[in-house]
Amino acid sequence: MCRVQLICQFGEPVRGLSPYGDALLSALAECEGINVDPVDYRAAYPGILHPAAQGGAKGPGELHWANPFSWYRVARRVSDIVHIQHWSSPLATYLWPFAVMAKRAGKHIIVTVHNPKLHESLPVFDAFENGLLRAADVLIVHDANGAKALRQRFAGGAPDIRVIPHGIRLNMRPGVWNGDHAQLGFDSGRRYVVLFGNLRGYKGVTNLLEAWSQVVGHVPDVDLVIAGRLWEGGRGYLTKAAAMALGTREYSDRLRSAMELPGLAGRVHLREGFLPDGDIDALLRVAEFAVFPYERFGSQSGAACRAAGIGCPVLVSNLGGLPDLTIGQDWIVTPGDVEELAASLRAKLARGRLSDDTRKAQIERVSDYGWLTVGRQHAALYHELGH
């Protein structure tokens, strides 16, 4: 029996990586010879500094960013492997010493690097993150581009790097469900294109709005829905300062200004804030497709994976692992090219309503990334290291 401590966020309330942690934990429960001890955070970072209002830093777990005794207690618990889910460089300020403690206790260290390229520039934390990643026996990334980025970062001296895809929850009932439009307050006679997730600068939302301003006159029956949290700092001085330092507050202002572009009034719906899972699923079922026009990116998108798995085709930028999710080359655009994005939107929406065959093709495209398959890949790595 291989004993694994899985360091992540789990359960309710939904926080950063908790949907990923829950899905991986559930998949590992189906794998033989693996005993998983899930370790959650009591506080992953100072919540008052998170640039989104109600950032979700607190949880029901044990690890606390400011309590070295919590690091020591978890590091000394009985296990063969410590598997850390790492998504933000500031966390490395304490996950690095935690990993060193665990390694001194005789454990193998695995780190899943969810963001091989940082979304926002935080050079002050580079040394800490490099220390954490070098302390690992194995690094996991979700795609070949992420692996390449890490190898370049370590200039030939990187730890062992493995590619395990981001797991996807596969929906076997593609298409609109009865009541979806009513649940969202949508008009069933109209069509919708959607972008959802945290609305940060690297995601190209302002480019999408500029492209949409060129499209709306050609597709009078289609609206754009943008759903998610703006990282503008809320009402607190410290959260505002964090948002300003990251540049996310300035980007939020730019996004709001872009909403005023000619022709967009009444044709763009901004659903700001946290959306319940049921609303996100309904939104993806009614959408013609989802757009992820990222400007800079080096990994895989949990939001794009969710859309693809539910049968909502994804139109993506040619960055990171995003192209791996698409059903064809015509669903991939050049990052930052507004004209190409507008042309692609027009071409797809001119075809009429999305067919069930297209939805099924999208699910089939990502069928190898189902969570059970991904769980087995993790289990094989655990057995390799633990025995």
CA-to-CA distance for 346 and 182, rounded, in angstroms?
A: 27
Q: List the one residue out of 28, 131, 32 whose CA is nearest residue 83.
A: 28
CB burial of 44-56 (b: ≥16 within 10 Å; e: otherwise) equals bbeeebbbbbebb
What domains are defined for the chain?
A: 2-167+370-386 (3.40.50.2000), 180-368 (3.40.50.2000)
Residue 244 has pLDDT above 50, yes or no: no
Per residue in 188-243, pLDDT tens? 999 999 999 887 778 899 999 999 999 999 999 999 999 887 654 455 544 444 44
CB burial of 279-306 (b: ≥16 within 10 Å; e: otherwise) equals bbbbbbbbbbbbbbbbebbbbbbbbbbb
Mean pLDDT of all residues in the chain? 88
pTM reported for the whole predicted model: 0.88
Q: What is the pLDDT of residue 247?
A: 45
Q: What is the pLDDT of residue 163?
A: 96
Phi, psi of 33 (to 5 degrees): 75, 15
Q: What count of residues does the chain have?
A: 387
Q: What is the pLDDT of residue 243?
A: 40
Q: What is the DSSP string of 262-293?
A: TT-TTTEEEEES---HHHHHHHHHH-SEEEE-
111 near 146, Cβ under 8 Å? no
Q: What is the pLDDT of residue 14?
A: 77
CA-to-CA distance for 282 and 297, rounded, in angstroms?
A: 27
Per residue in 162-201, pLDDT tens? 999 999 999 877 788 899 999 999 999 999 999 998 877 7
Per residue in 116-160, pLDDT tens? 876 555 678 889 999 999 999 999 999 999 998 898 888 767 789
Stronger pLDDT, 157 or 85, i.e. the higher one: 85
